[in-house]
């Protein structure tokens, strides 16, 4: 296990190098964990320096004020232990941040807020199938203190690089401190939910059209059930990201907190409102997919009944010549019209007339 961790630590620096002006390169400082994507000190809304270690960033903050923003990507326990000790992070929160797979939540440990967000990314696909992956999930965890914010990201989605650059272009907002960064992250995550909800709505509309349109009636005999069920699984994953986050957003927007600037708290109300709207939309997706699935199963049942009626009708038609052939194949010496010159043609005509009459009867009743 230790060999795998060492290999991950060796590979990360190569994967994270970028030409962005403020991207942190851990290889420049071998004493710094390779999980650190970027680390900087901000004072009065302006970035003071590049390429500093977390320990150096905290030293500068304590000496001259401002706050430190440290970004990490999938740190191991060993990589995160030094930063956790430097900033006095609670062991339980550190364990959650390292191992991930947490529910969205907001917890307070002494002078630190620990927030977990589930990021959602819509997977583009040319055609929705029963095995299509519709959404991918990741996690962003934030340790927010009086003079620092530490972001820990898991998964290939939810990068905060563009967000950091956008905040650096707005010094007035960034001057509000770590809570401004926390709000920006929450706002970006919820905006991602809105975009994914719109894309999932298009997939549901497509399936709904296929199920209810006359052109898709043949496929709806069972072919659409797999697609509907796959969508339900993806919507359930979506709901697991959205629903638990409602209460943390309400707390950040309504409950006064010493670590959240009062001006920033007003912005959290807007995020909470958008999140509530997405939550209602996701719940409606689930109900709509249930209705579509029930309609699809009902259509499949009706189609099976139609097939059974057709099979029964044709079986009844073919039963007539089978019965007549069976009667005249019993080889008795004395049977009506057995030795009559026109017996065979008459039997054939009678058989055809009876079959045609039965066919017309079934046709008139809608069985054929």
Residue in 74, 78, 89 with CA at minimum distance from that of residue 148: 89
Phi, psi for 148 (deg, rounded to 5): -160, 155
pTM: 0.74
- List every span in the chain annotated with CATH 1.20.58: 307-364
**CB environment 213-237: b (16+ within 10 A), e (fewer):** eeebeeebbebbbebbebbbebbeb
| Burial degree of 10 (CB within 10 A; 0-12, 13-18, 19+) | exposed
What is the structure's pLDDT at 214?
A: 67
- Please tell me the class of the 307-364 domain: mainly alpha
pLDDT at 279: 94
What is the pLDDT, as a whole number, of residue 307? Answer: 76
Q: What is the pLDDT of residue 33?
A: 54
- Smallest CA-to-CA distance from 189 within 236, 230, 238 is with 238
Q: What is the number of other CB atoms lying within 10 angstroms of the CB of residue 302?
A: 13
Instruction: Give me the half-sphere count of Cα atoms (radius 13 Å) on the Cβ side of residue 317.
Output: 19
Q: Which whole-number Å values give the CA distances from 128 to 85, 225, 227, in the listed order?
A: 48, 12, 7
For residue 308, the Cα-to-chain-centroid distance in whole angstroms is: 40
Angstrom distance (rounded) from CA 233 to CA 223 = 17
| Residue 350, pLDDT score | 83
Q: What does the pLDDT look like over 99-116, one tens digit per residue?
A: 888 899 999 998 899 999
151, containing H or E segment: strand 148-154
In the chain, CATH 3.30.460.20 sits at 2-300
Q: Which residues are CB-neighbours of 13 under 8 A, at least 6 positions away?
A: 25, 26, 27, 34
Residues of the chain with pLDDT under 70: 1-33, 130, 214-223, 332, 334, 337-338
- From the CB of residue 284, how many other CB atoms can be counted at a distance below 10 Å? 14
The correct CATH number of 2-300 out of 3.30.460.20, 3.40.50.360, 1.10.10.410, 3.90.110.10 is 3.30.460.20
DSSP H or E stretch at residue 120: strand 112-122
pLDDT digits (tens, 9 = 90+) for 121-160: 888 877 777 677 778 889 999 999 999 999 999 987 778 9
- The pLDDT value recorded for residue 28 is 40
Contact yes or no for 94/80 (Cβ under 8 A):
yes
């Amino acid at each position: 296990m230790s060999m795998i961790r060492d290999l991950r630590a060796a590979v990360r620096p190569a994967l994270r190098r970028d030409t962005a002006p403020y991207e942190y390169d851990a290889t420049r400082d071998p004493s710094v964990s390779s999980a650190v994507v970027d680390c900087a000190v901000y004072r009065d809304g302006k970035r003071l320096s590049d390429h500093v270690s977390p320990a150096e960033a905290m030293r500068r903050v304590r000496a001259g004020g401002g706050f430190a923003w440290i970004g990490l990507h999938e740190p191991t326990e060993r990589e995160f232990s030094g930063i956790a000790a430097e900033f006095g992070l609670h062991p339980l929160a550190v364990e959650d941040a390292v191992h991930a797979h947490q529910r969205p939540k907001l917890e307070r440990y002494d002078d630190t807020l620990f927030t977990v967000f589930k990021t959602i990314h819509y997977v583009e696909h040319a055609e929705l199938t029963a095995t299509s992956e519709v959404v991918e999930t990741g996690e962003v965890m934030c340790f927010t203190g009086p003079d620092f914010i530490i972001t820990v990201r898991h998964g290939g989605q939810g990068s905060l690089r563009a967000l950091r650059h956008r905040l650096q272009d707005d010094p007035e907002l960034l001057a509000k401190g770590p809570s401004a960064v926390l709000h920006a992250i929450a706002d970006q995550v919820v905006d991602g939910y809105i975009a994914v909800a719109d894309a999932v709505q298009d997939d549901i509309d497509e399936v709904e059209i296929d199920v209810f349109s006359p052109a898709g009636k043949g496929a709806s005999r069972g072919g659409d059930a797999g697609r509907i069920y796959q969508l339900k699984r993806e919507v359930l994953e979506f709901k697991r990201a959205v629903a638990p986050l409602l209460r943390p957003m309400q707390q950040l927007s309504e409950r006064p907190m010493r670590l959240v600037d009062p001006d920033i708290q007003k912005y959290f109300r807007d995020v909470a409102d958008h999140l509530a709207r997405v939550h209602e939309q996701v719940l409606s997706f689930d109900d709509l997919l249930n209705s579509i699935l029930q309609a699809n199963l009902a259509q499949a049942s009706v189609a099976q009944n139609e097939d059974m009626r057709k099979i029964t009708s044709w079986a009844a038609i073919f039963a007539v010549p089978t019965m007549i052939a069976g009667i005249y194949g019993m080889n008795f010496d004395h049977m009506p019209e057995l030795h009559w010159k026109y017996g065979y043609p008459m039997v054939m005509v009678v058989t055809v007339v009876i079959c045609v009459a039965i066919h017309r009867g079934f046709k008139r009743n809608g069985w054929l």
